[in-house]
Structure 1
Amino acid sequence: MEPKNTTTTSDLKILVNPEPAKFAQGELIDIVAVHGLGGSALKTWSSKPFGLYGKSTLWLRDLLPAKIPNVRVMSLQYDSSVFGRSAQAIRDNARKLLQLLYNQREDNRDAQKRPIVFIGHSLGGLLIKQALKLANQNTKFRDISTSTKGIIFFGTPHRGSDKAAWLKLLTEVSSTVSNRPDPTFVKDLQTNSETLLKISQDFQPLVKDYAIVSFYEEHEHRMLGTVVVDKLSAVMGLPHEEAMMLTGDHSGMCKLTGMNDPRFDPIWRAIRRASRGRMYTN
């Protein structure tokens, strides 16, 4: 069941939508979250309550506005099925993200220039990189590219990951035997694949314009006995990049339990810094 007080525009879920009149003109910030493999617009960012009672915490909605009140928070829902041609699926979903976000900003001139911070988990980070590359090339979406101030990556495999680890993880998120991972997709996500190399090359000319924060997982995955995306792959190695290890495995690193979760403080502060854009000169 989806949390209450959540509206949906097509596949872009609006989690937080403050009244612009409450803030000075141009002060609002658009936060756009993109889930990864086997995730969703809601559950990727939600923690389950302990025990039988209590409600889950969707930190993008329940926690973030308390620290950064001038945010409109959106979360993309897309088919993260792993059973087709991954490179094409990434491009198609990147275009879909751009169109849905464009629709949200189209009717308001101030909204068209509103700062954007993208947040991506795992495959979602790759989708964001592809979307910004496409936005930079398309006049229609150019405002999205120029309005983007920063990107927060959670366990994004910029350089891929071990093939065996991906295969086990993808099998775990598959709900039925018939939905076992397509070998092509696993190949495209393994270390130094041509697909990942192309995405990285396309994004390289743009990355200097954005504040970059990369969180990488501390714990081994409970089912795999290893980390899914190691630090070498999750960190891009940029001079202006902020990199930090987060408690949790690949799936749990972006599921916060509440205000007292020690991960929340560095995350919300990173988002606030990213909303100001790149502040480094090197």
Structure 2
Amino acid sequence: MGISYSKAVHTPTSIPTPTHTPPAAEMSSTLRESDGLFQVHPAQSRQRQCSLDIVFVHGLGGDSYTTWTKDTTHWPKDLLPTLECFENARILTFGYNTSGFFTKNADEHRARTFTCAEILVSDLKTFRRRGAQDRPIIFVGHSLGGLVIKSALRHAILRRALYGDIVDSTRAIIFFSTPHQGTSQEAWKAFFARLGESKIEKSSVISELEVWSDMLTELTTEFADLATQIKITSFYERRFTKGVMIVPEAVAKMGQKNEQSRALDTDHLDICRFTETDANWRTVSNHLDAIVADIEDLAELQNLPPLSTQVANDASLKQRFESLDRCR
């Protein structure tokens, strides 16, 4: 599966433009209550050319605002645009109603990982209309959100005629405590106890997230080929939640050869929450910087003349091989 690295810059597209930029309090309320994609940067009232899309997907018990917020800092909106490499990025958050995961199997409103994934890829297709289809994509997922991202890309592969541009544009995925291999029911019960969720016994999602469940086995197997063409980063927690390590290091790693893994000194809920002065933010922001630099290097590499036209030009040939070395 070829991924084309285009450095073309396109005019951003989004949902209908509001007449004003919502204040922080109004925006946080909207993000908590809304399902689907929501653009947090740049303000939709501003016309700006964007160089890439970065999409945030929360996990169980979270939402598009609180999952990524520490104190009053919603880092996708407040910190990420301050990084030079993300000044011209379009930053999107994806919300879904996690309460549906805690209903009985017979309940018509029961949520499924695949259902959320299907909505994600459909909404993203709508956002990326009118010339934005080649814009590079970076996905960021917390816990179950990482599995939703993997499921969305698997669905996009199966529906390549409709969603192939999303697959081909995906450059990187950053996972925060995503249980790629699954984890124990005891760990999830401890996690939901912290959230005050009392319906754990009725939830089918627990069986889906058990170690090597059928759902996770199928997802891991089918996602493996695509993962080799994407920069993969897996951050994992070092601290206990309610006395239990929710997503231990061993299950937070995909096991891909191209996967970078990194521990963060925090627990399952706070692993993706930062303020500007946090040591974890410096670690994550430096990594994000490096990812975008690699994307830009590959885009520049594609724009070089074909190798066959450079044989007689030693300086140009050297430049091409040096660029290749940087991108390995």
TM-score, normalised to structure 2, is: 0.74
SS of 1:253's partner is helix
How far residue 266 of structure 1 moved from its aligned partner, in angstroms, is: 2.1
2:59 corresponds to 1:36: yes
How far residue 193 of structure 1 moved from its aligned partner, in angstroms, is: 1.2
2:100 corresponds to 1:78: no
Partner of 1:148: 170
> What is the distance in 2 between the residues matched to 1:59 and 1:181?
34
Range moving further from structure 2, 164-173 or 129-138? 164-173
> What is the distance in 2 between the residues matched to 1:171 and 1:196?
23
> What is the distance in 1 between the residues matched to 2:233 and 2:53?
17
Count of residues in Structure 1 that have an aligned counterpart in Structure 2: 264
Q: Give the counterpart letter for 2:40 in structure 1.
A: L
Partner of 2:187: 165
How far residue 194 of structure 1 moved from its aligned partner, in angstroms, is: 1.3
Q: Deviations over 1:95-152 (max 9, x none)?
A: 100111111111x21x111110000000000000000011112111111111010000
Partner of 2:230: 210
2:125 corresponds to 1:102: yes
For 2:153, which of 132, 150, 170 is the aligned residue?
132
For 1:121, which of 142, 153, 156 is the aligned residue?
142
TM-aligned CA distance change 1:10 to 1:252, over 3 Å: closer
How far residue 22 of structure 1 moved from its aligned partner, in angstroms, is: 5.2
How far residue 34 of structure 1 moved from its aligned partner, in angstroms, is: 0.3
Structure of higher CA gyration radius:
2
For 2:38, which of 5, 13, 28 is the aligned residue?
13
Q: Deviations over 1:43-81 (max 9, x none)?
A: 000012xxxxxxx00001000000021211111110123
> What is the distance in 2 between the residues matched to 1:254 and 1:22?
28
Q: Give the counterpart letter for 1:114 in structure 2.
A: R
Question: Identity of paired residues, percent?
Answer: 31
Give ranges in structure 1 of 5+ residues lacking alignment.
Answer: 49-55
Check whether the contact 2:145–2:178 (CA below 8 A) recurs between aligned residues: yes
Q: Which has the higher contact order (CA 8 A, sep 6+)?
A: 1
How far residue 185 of structure 1 moved from its aligned partner, in angstroms, is: 2.2
Check whether the contact 2:235–2:252 (CA below 8 A) recurs between aligned residues: yes
1:263-278 to structure 2, matched below 5 A, reads 263-275=280-292, 276-277=294-295
TM-aligned CA distance change 1:185 to 1:21, over 3 Å: closer
Give ranges in structure 2 of 5+ residues lacking alignment.
Answer: 1-22, 299-325
Q: Give the counterpart letter for 1:83 in structure 2.
A: F
Q: Give the counterpart letter for 2:57 in structure 1.
A: V
Q: Give the counterpart letter for 2:69 in structure 1.
A: S
> What is the distance in 1 between the residues matched to 2:68 and 2:119?
21
Check whether the contact 1:212–1:274 (CA below 8 A) recurs between aligned residues: no
